[in-house]
Amino acid sequence: MSQSTLSPAVPKPDHVPESLVYDFDMFSDPGMIENAHDRALDLVKNAPPVFWTPRNEGHWVVAGHNAVFNMSRDTERFSNAMVSYEQIHGMIASLPEGAPKPLIPAPITYDPPHHAVYRGPLQRAFSPKAMAALKDSIRELAVELIEAVKPKGGCAFVDAIAEPLPVTIFLRMFGLPVERQREYRDLVKEHFEDNISDPAHVQVRLKKVTDIMHETIMDRKENPSDDLISLLWQSEFNGEKATLWDIQNYCVVLFAAGLDTVVNGMGLGAIHLAKNPELQAELRADPDKIPAATEEILRRYTFTLPPRFLSDDTEFEGVQMKKGEKAVLLLPTADLDPSEFDSPEEFNLAREGKAHIAFGTGPHRCLGSHLARFELNILYEEMMARLPEFRLDPDKPLTFHGGHVWGPNEVYLKWDN
């Protein structure tokens, strides 16, 4: 990857000391593209726990575990939205009658107390009990996908298993046609690779998502079914019935998150297992260890980088920050912080004590974490039960993508039948 692929560097603001400037491009950093979590370890060792990067229009990066934890829970100073709920709704109220409303990803861009109102309808749908009811269908699909590639002696794991497994499950939950899976995934990929922050451009990008779902959204209004879109149509917010705008706001978040995030987690887990045949043998001999392996894989290869926006001038962890600035929570480095985890670079199946924050923390903690855990555990169980010892294909080296979700572009596995 050449330096020309990096975003342009912008000048350092006057309030940022030189000691806190560190050059890192979360979308195109060459080290991250080559090996995402080796680069994360490098950042842990060489970058400040909170630093400012001149890339992608200049922003803060919060890399240390304590700093990530504290910022995640401080929604008064560090908002999930560039513009507050009150400002958004004030602007909408001033629009001419009939004018289209801007799309506002919900509930992720709403802070407390509004966040709870919009997250509420989804809490039951994504509860541990509701997700446990999906276990049989998750396992059935995992078995089908693994058995389809088993005789071939190898596979492109992301394409053959890591995409279709969670994406199919989510499309069924959402009520979207599974046969359009490839079309949906291509749009999500385009969505996550786009790092242009201009509001007008963002609106165009979000509208593409709602447009591709529009027919299904409108059908569920008239013909409700047992799916998320129908559930949202039947919800109320602050005593008001859901509108098309409300449903669209939900859909831009759920669509992108449901069709992308755990795919990357599965790819990263497959890489670690393929590189460690002794771990495969241990898990095959004692499948009861698989949940612990899942949690340690999540810690060692955490993959999300959620943004925050400064609501006011403030001091955080001894650093002066200004209203309107952006901060990125670098969860992959937080879970590799030696001040929080002993020998964090080591995969330790017997690791005890401190929990990882791969799913975030605070009010915006990942809504789909229970579903993701079921999917990951079941996938690893079936891979250990059904595949012989597998390894990475040495002729097809790994590359990674950056952005707000890190992961491998593809993982080529081989095994001997």
Report the alpha-carbon distance of residue 97 to residue 102 in Å, rounded. 14
Residue 117: the pLDDT is: 87
Token pair recorded at residue 164 = 């279709």
113 prior amide bond cis, ω within 30: yes
Q: What is the pLDDT along the chain (417 residues), one digit of tens a residue?
A: 333 489 999 999 999 999 999 999 999 999 999 999 999 999 999 999 999 999 999 999 999 999 999 999 999 999 988 877 788 778 888 888 878 888 888 888 888 888 888 898 888 889 999 999 999 999 999 999 999 999 999 999 999 999 999 999 999 998 889 898 888 888 877 877 777 777 788 888 888 888 988 999 999 999 999 999 999 999 988 888 999 999 999 888 888 777 788 999 999 999 999 999 999 999 999 999 999 999 999 999 999 999 999 999 999 999 999 999 999 999 999 999 999 999 999 999 999 877 899 999 999 899 899 999 999 999 999 999 999 999 999 999 999 999 999 999 999 999 998
Report the alpha-carbon distance of residue 358 to residue 157 in Å, rounded. 22
Asked if residue 39 lies in contact with residue 25, where contact means CB atoms within 8 angstroms, the answer is no
Token pair recorded at residue 290 = 């698989």
Asked if residue 400 lies in contact with residue 406, where contact means CB atoms within 8 angstroms, the answer is yes
Residue 3: the pLDDT is: 39
Asked if residue 331 lies in contact with residue 68, where contact means CB atoms within 8 angstroms, the answer is yes
Token pair recorded at residue 169 = 């499950």
SS3 per-residue string spanning the chain:
CCHHHCCCCCCCCCCCCHHHECCCCCCCCHHHHHCHHHHHHHHHHHCCCEEEECCCCCEEEECCHHHHHHHHHCCCCEECCCCCHHHHHHHHHCCCCCCCCCCCCCCCCCCCCHHHHHHHHHHHHCCHHHHHCCHHHHHHHHHHHHHHHHHHCEEEHHHHHHCHHHHHHHHHHHCCCHHHHHHHHHHHHHHHHCCCCCHHHHHHHHHHHHHHHHHHHHHHHHCCCCCHHHHHHCCEECCEECCHHHHHHHHHHHHHHHCCHHHHHHHHHHHHHHHCHHHHHHHHHCHHHHHHHHHHHHHHCCCECCEEEECCCEEECCEEECCCCEEEECHHHHCCCCCCCCCCCCCCCCCCCCCCCCCCCCCCCCCCHHHHHHHHHHHHHHHHHHCCCEEECCCCCCCEECCCECEECCCEEEECC
Residue 301: the pLDDT is: 98
Token pair recorded at residue 100 = 């289209």
Token pair recorded at residue 187 = 């749009």
Q: Estimate the crossing angle of helix 369-386 against helix 290-300, to 10 degrees.
A: 120
Q: Is the pTM of this model over 0.75?
A: yes
Residue 4: the pLDDT is: 44
Amino acid of residue 37: H
Report the alpha-carbon distance of residue 38 to residue 44 in Å, rounded. 10
Q: What is the largest CA-CA distance in the chain?
A: 67
Asked if residue 61 lies in contact with residue 12, where contact means CB atoms within 8 angstroms, the answer is no
